[in-house]
Amino acid sequence: MSITFLFLAAFVACAVEMVEALTIVLAVGTTRGWRSALIGTAAAALSLAMIIAVLGPALTRVPINDLRLLVGGLLLAFGLQWLRKAILRASGYKALHDEETIFANEIEHARTAAGGVRGGLDWYSFTLSFKGVFLEGLEVAFIVLSFSGRRGGVAVAAMAAALALLIVLAAGVLVRAPLARVPENTLKFAVGAMLTTFGVFWAAEGAGASWPGGDTALLAILALNLLASLTLVYVLRRRRALPSSASVIAAGTEGGQH
Amino acid sequence: MRYLVTFARFCWEFIVGDDWIVAAGIVIAFGATGLLAHHHMAAWWVMPSAALLLLGISLWRATRRTSR
């Protein structure tokens, strides 16, 4: 049960991050040419592979309870950040993440940016693609490595990430446009709830607690997180509807890509 | 030196994010869970309660700014 749950959490989390990276690469590639954009993407993928190759084996040497405490804490921090933003978006306090708007903005920037071609490379395209793929990919890498709290978890999460990469890449090649139809905000809500659930579960085990019912406690924690989050969305929507409420937090006033 | 500062800022934004209260609360919840478990008391309820409490506080802090 927990393997399926873990696979699903890793798959959706990775797919969401890859959709964001794809939007940047597509915008740069269609505006300024594919060569430099693809070289930047490949360089970022290689850098990420090296980070995973170094950190992955190092994690297997950490005692399992210490590892659970560490990765549980990280997953909880990520999960609560994702949930917080998803709830703010769902309740109207923060602008919705819109891949079409981001794509249009990136294209405008790419068109107006000065072209510095050196050594056969358009460095603007290379840097933007590298940065986009590396930063979004780093989050994927951390999520995959965080699933080392369960034995064999990294392998399952890595398979989920690979499948997500294949599907997002295939969709990107087919449509050659941002994947605006992906219900990104809903997916982020679900990912936030799942990452928080695993974070709570492993962090408590790592700190020395035992769960009543073992792995089945995961389902109860997930249900509790979803129920509490939906209640918070309802409460915040009602509060926002009151006459004293002010405007939406402008998109971009808060950092992070979640 | 500039690269170290940039890297430290990146790590802070990556892990701590928009609200440092959440990260600080997680560390306190770790301590409370460990303390209860050390004294052979039921400790499993601390982390889920702390997660929901921290989420509520963080959202209250974020929306308070726009509701004034």
Q: What are phi and psi of A159, to 5 degrees?
A: -65, -40
- Residue B47: predicted pLDDT: 95
ipTM (interface predicted TM): 0.88
- Residue A183: predicted pLDDT: 74
Which residue among B22, B46, B56 places its CB closest to the CB of A77? B22
Q: Do B48 and A212 count as a contact with CB atoms less than 8 A apart?
A: no
pLDDT at A33 over 60: yes
Q: Do B66 and A246 count as a contact with CB atoms less than 8 A apart?
A: yes
Q: Smallest CA–CA separation between A82 and chain B, in Å?
A: 10
Which residue among A209, A232, A244 places its CB closest to the CB of B56? A232
Q: Smallest CA–CA separation between B61 and chain A, in Å?
A: 11
- Residue A116: predicted pLDDT: 67
Mutate to test the interface with B, among A81, A139, A143, A257 (most CBs of B within 10 A): A81
Give the closest residue to A14 by CA, choosing from A128, A182, A237, A175: A182
Q: Do A246 and B52 count as a contact with CB atoms less than 8 A apart?
A: no
Is B63 within 8 Å of chain A by CB? yes
pLDDT at A256 over 60: no
Is B11 within 8 Å of chain A by CB? no
> Which residues on neighbouring strands pair with residue A121, listed in sequence order?
A118
Please give the structure tokens belonging to residue A206.
């790592």
Amino acid at A170: A
- Residue A255: predicted pLDDT: 46
**Whole-number average pLDDT of chain A:** 81
Angle, to 10 degrees, between the axis of helix A123-146 and the axis of helix A64-90?
120
pLDDT band at A254 (very low <50, low <70, confident <90, very high): very low
A24 within 8 A of A129, measured Cβ to Cβ = yes
Give the closest residue to B50 by CA, choosing from B27, B16, B17, B34: B27
Which residue among B15, B43, B63 places its CB closest to the CB of A77? B15
What percent of chain A has pLDDT above 90? 16
CA–chain centroid gap for A94, Å, is 18
Q: Smallest CA–CA separation between B52 and chain A, in Å?
A: 7
b or e along A97-133 (b: 16 or more beta carbons within 10 Å of the residue's beta carbon)?
bebeebbeebbeebeeeeeeeeeeebbbbbebbbebb
Where do the H-state alpha helices sit in chain B? 2-15, 20-38, 46-67
- Look at A5-14, A172-181, A240-249 and tell me which has the smallest mean pLDDT: A240-249
Chain B residue with the nearest C-alpha to that of A253: B18
Which residue among A210, A232, A255 places its CB closest to the CB of B18? A255
Is B57 within 8 Å of chain A by CB? no
pLDDT at A205 over 50: yes
Q: Do B18 and A88 count as a contact with CB atoms less than 8 A apart?
A: no
Mutate to test the interface with A, among B28, B47, B52 (most CBs of A within 10 A): B47
Q: Do B30 and A207 count as a contact with CB atoms less than 8 A apart?
A: yes
Q: Smallest CA–CA separation between B22 and chain A, in Å?
A: 7
Which is more confidently placed, A218 or A107?
A218
Q: Give the CA dihedral A153, B24, A251, A240, nearest 10 degrees.
A: 110
Which is more confidently placed, A39 or A100?
A39
Give the closest residue to B29 by CA, choosing from B12, B49, B9: B49
